[in-house]
Amino acid sequence: MKYCSECGKKVSISIPEGDNRPRHICSSCNTIHYQNPKMVVGCLVEHENKILLCKRAIEPRYGLWTLPAGFMENDETTMQAAARETIEEAGADVEITQLFTMFSLPHIDQVYMLYRAKFKEVAFAAGSESLEVSLFAESEIPWDEIAFPVITESLKRFFVDKKAGQFQIHNGAMFKQINNEKITFDVAVLNDH
């Protein structure tokens, strides 16, 4: 952010009175421009022990597989956002059944939220942001070609819970670590035993 979205003049960065964080503040009209994390919301659609994955037709991670998910929009609920993204990316009309994972990703200022869902009718097709959409059993999942670590983590937890016969709600965070140029993630989850 370089200019004020209210008056078009330059912004500078300083800590407003009564605040404790640097903000973008307009030097002309004094508007404070707050920046906050965004929610990415989507679905784990299950059908006959298989999960619906989409092969990405867009960057980042073109050609890799992910769950249908995307940025929550204004004027909708998290459940509506998850169902909308599943229609848009996977051509699947679903019923949301339960919150499954909610991971904060502080290194990219996102909160990633995935719901369990089932087809209203069994139909799916690649949307404009997908090259291909398909159902995968656990043994068929292309683990080395998953687009994002939060998706791998959520899929793993899904199959663990499925075997245990009980689905938890997994709420936590993934912290990016870089050691010797190798990227890993520390996962911390409330109530994980």
Q: For binding to its own copies (CB under 8 A), which residues are involved?
A: 1-11, 18, 21, 33-39, 71-80, 96-99, 102, 104, 106-107, 109, 111, 128, 169, 171-173, 190-191
Least distance (Å) from its own copies to the CB of residue 96?
7
Specify the 3-state DSSP secondary structure of 88: helix
Sheet holding 11-14, edge to edge: 11-14, 23-26, 32-33
The nearer residue to its own copies, 160 or 169, going by C-beta atoms, is 169
Smallest gap from Cβ 4 to its own copies, in A, equals 7
Helices first, then strands: H and E counts in the chain: 2, 12
If the CB atoms of residues 53 and 72 are measured against its own copies, the closer one turns out to be 72
CB of 8 to its own copies, least distance (A): 4
Smallest distance from its own copies to CB 65, Å: 21
- Which pairs from 102-106 meet CB under 8 Å and 24+ separation? 102/169, 102/170, 102/171, 102/172, 103/150, 103/153, 103/154, 103/170, 103/171, 103/172, 103/173, 103/174, 103/187, 104/37, 104/172, 104/173, 104/174, 105/150, 105/173, 105/174, 106/173, 106/175
Q: Which is nearer to its own copies, 80 or 134 (CB)?
A: 80
Q: Which is nearer to its own copies, 63 or 106 (CB)?
A: 106
Residue 180 or 191 with smaller CB distance to its own copies: 191
CB of 104 to its own copies, least distance (A): 4
